[in-house]
Amino acid sequence: MVRVRFAPSPTGYLHIGGARTALFNWLWARKNKGAFVLRIEDTDQSRSTQQSEQAIIDGLKWLGLDWDEGPVVGGPHAPYFQMQRLATYDRHAEFLIAQGKAYRCDCTKEELDRLREQAAREKRGFKYPGICRDKKLPRGTPGAVVRFRMPDEGATTFKDLVKGEITTQHKELHDEVILRSDGVPLYNFGAVVDDVEMEITLVARGDDHVVNTPRQILMYQALKYPIPQFAHLPMILGADKQRLSKRHGAVSVLQYRDDGYLPGALVNYLARLGWSHGDQEIFTIQELIEDFDWEHVGANAGVFNPQKLEWVNQQWIKRTPPAEIAKAAGVSPEFAALMQERARNLNEIREAYRAYIVPDLPAYDEKAVAKQLTKETRPLLEEARTAIDRTFEQGPQAMEHAFRALAEQRGLGLGKLAQPVRVAVTGTTVSPPLFETIALLGKARTLRRVDAALERIK
């Protein structure tokens, strides 16, 4: 059975890169009818917060990336918070020590700093020289950490599902700390133990973790556990080809929710940011589940394009049933249907609804008023009022037909007649389709708005 996991640290919001990692794991689990596990790696106690944990959970929920095991839902491998699993790490560390694969080290910070300074002077990278390798320090030695004994010779090779075969020479590694003196694991060891205990079959994560993988593989082997598959996703860059950050705009998933994006649209965009399926750009969630594979995940960094995301969102708004758009935007289904063809996000629909439909009189754009509500257009507005009064009950098409006939009589294009009416009714020259908007407003309110515009011209 396929079992994958998303293991964020609760030190900030759920960002775009993390969301894509979660998505690819989720798609693989759903495609294979497997399990998607959420695990919170909260060992950085100085930076981990309850607020960040909740933001991550809220972000995943909003995107629709439900998890089968983890916080809130529980599961057979609970707890799913690393700080609640310290006894598990201790047990595995003791096993490694007993096997001669790890050892306690009581080197002080001052000693290690001196060694680092010496390495810097000699212009070489620092590697712990194994001072405590053969000391056999007893459990409870004050200030002692546990170090993993890396092999001195040979190499570790693994096949990455995205990047292909990767080899690391063991001489490049050193005996790294796996358990601090307070019993808290460091990343590599904690991740390996949890992935073993939670029966993870594929580890898919950002490619900044490629350097950790050979170290982790050696730990799997020392613990005598099967090694999962690995897939390392390339990073996401801004338009300037620098790593995506706040300076490139919104990077928090929940910020996109607040900006009026549909969750499905963001999922669609993130899926295509690094994965391809021919020339297809717009996918339903079910299509993504069916089509996703690792073979077509690119090894090169993806460039985040806000304009492309906006376009994808616009396509999703067009294709989503009006009732769903109405519910998401908090407007009537009729108004949602009017706005779907042109709205780029839900906020545009909300703002238009508040501007055009909610108030008794619209908020007027003074430039539009100065251009369209003049003494010259007053007669046209009066005749248009009569046409609306006469044909309203027959529907939008009848009103449009009456307007066209009136414009033809006056030797004008439809726009010359419709624009003053549009400004009178909506307050601006840009609005949803005019006659459908009039139908939504109702006859009495439309005529009141036209009358108010005529008063302004006086």
Where in the sequence numbering do the catalytic residues fall? 246
Q: In what order do the strands lie in the sheet with 102-105?
A: 102-105, 145-148, 177-179
Here the tokens at position 219 are 């730990």
In sequence order, what are the residues at sequence separation of 6 or more whose Cβ sits closer than 8 angstroms to the Cβ of residue 451? 385
- Length of the chain equals 458
Residue type, 115: L
Q: Which residue has the tokens 């060992």?
A: 43
Q: How crowded is residue 291: how many other Cβ atoms within 10 Å of its Cβ?
A: 17
Triad 354, 358, 361: Cα angle to 5°: 105
Q: How crowded is residue 58: how many other Cβ atoms within 10 Å of its Cβ?
A: 15
Residue type, 313: N
Give the whole-angstrom CA distance, residue 286 versus residue 22. 16
HSE on the CB side for 40, CA within 13 Å? 29
Cα separations in angstroms, 154 against 150, 157, 172:
10, 10, 10
Rounded to the nearest 10°, the torsion over CA 41, 246, 259, 367 is 170
Strands 164-169 vs 155-160: parallel, antiparallel or unpaired: antiparallel
